[in-house]
Amino acid sequence: MNCANLLGALGFSCHRFPTGTLAVSTPFCFADGDVIHFYLDDFDSTVKISDNSDTLFHLSTVGLDISDRKKWRFLRQLAEAHGLRLEDSGELTGRSQSTELPDLVRRYVGTLLKVVDYEREQRGMSDETEQYLAEVEFYLRAWHVDRNVVPHPQIVGMSGRLHTFDFEYGDQLVDAVRPNSNSTGSILRKAMDLADDENASRILVVMDDREDSERAQAETAILSRMVSVLGMQQLRRVAGIPSSEH
């Protein structure tokens, strides 16, 4: 290992858009595993950091109600406490002199880590969701033992937004979801943003149909118009796992 590849080894990556904007992925994650990232724009001697409204978008995809701006108050307060700003558009931004970029990034990441704490508190997330993801990974590996399973791959959409999936499974991009409208909406937005890209056809959704099969069927009917959907029970069968196990 050397200084040239250290940042990559630590989990940082950077993508430059034709506009000059830099999209930076960090090794830090939201409560559901989505990677925390930010965008940087250089203006002569100043720099702007932004989330491209991804933070509120993420919270909406995990079931939190952010439909009313009054419900953004927690994020606005966190932003202001760290010297950042939550715009009326929902974009989290910050500006500083270029020489003060390290401090700006530190404050931005600090804000997002507080958002992660808030997400966990609001959702009561954790063991159950993590267990579901672990089960899906287990069955995927058993289904095709020759395929690599890579967690949290990121794909850049036509809008410039970075989309994170739960797994890259061979040449497929897998999201493991519970049957609810927020998850369905999130996946449809991903698919639409990737619609003119070959990545759209790679999307596979694993739908948990073990507890509420009717709701799972309804959400599957919507999703299957744009992406491939596999029920959790079917995944268990193709993986060769008897229903009484795991």
| Domains of the chain with CATH codes | 3-123 (no CATH), 127-238 (3.40.1350)
Question: Is residue 61 very low, low, confident or very high in pLDDT (cuts 50, 70, 90)?
Answer: confident
- Please give the average per-residue pLDDT across 164-176, as a whole number: 93
Q: What stretch of H or E contains 233? A: helix 232-238
Of 5, 9, 6, 37, the C-alpha closest to 23 is 37
Q: Higher model confidence: residue 95 or residue 6?
A: 95
Tell me how far CA of residue 132 lies from CA of 50, 127, 166, 212, in angstroms.
Answer: 32, 9, 11, 15
Query: What pLDDT sits at residue 246?
Result: 43
Give me the sign of the Cα torsion angle 190, 196, 202, 208.
positive
On whether the CB atoms of residues 136 and 53 are closer than 8 A, the answer is no
The pTM is what? 0.59
Query: What pLDDT sits at residue 4?
Result: 64
User: What's the distance, CA 121 to chain centroid?
Assistant: 18
What is the chain's Cα-based Rg? 19
Question: Is residue 123 very low, low, confident or very high in pLDDT (cuts 50, 70, 90)?
Answer: low
Q: Please give the Cα distance from 49 to 228 (Å, whole number).
A: 35
- Please give the average per-residue pLDDT across 15-27, as a whole number: 92
Helix, strand or coil for residue 67?
A: coil
